[in-house]
């Protein structure tokens, strides 16, 4: 029997939501062990002078705790 935990992270990218998601997952797997999945809680953009300058995603990352 395993026990999992969910943690929430925010990741950003200047190029798009998909890249922000990749950045967030890559960073999470550097710190957390046994990452098993993630889902996107929400999307956000930063707008400067009427243009999108940053894409952000808030991810809920699930990882299994070590025994």
Q: What is the pLDDT of residue 67?
A: 79
Angle at 57 between CA 54 and CA 61, to 5 degrees: 150
> Which CATH number is correct for 4-64, 3.30.70.20, 3.30.450.20, 3.40.640.10, 3.30.1660.10?
3.30.1660.10
Domain segments of the chain as ranges:
4-64
Is 62's pLDDT higher than 80?
yes
Is 29's pLDDT higher than 90?
yes
Contact 22, 9 (CB under 8 A): no
């Amino acid at each position: 029997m395993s026990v999992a935990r969910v943690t929430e992270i925010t990741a950003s990218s200047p190029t798009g939501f998909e890249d922000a998601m990749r950045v967030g997952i890559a960073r999470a797997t550097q710190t957390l062990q046994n990452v098993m999945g993630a889902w996107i809680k929400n999307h956000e953009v930063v707008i400067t002078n009427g243009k999108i300058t940053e894409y952000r995603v808030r991810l809920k990352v699930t990882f299994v705790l070590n025994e």
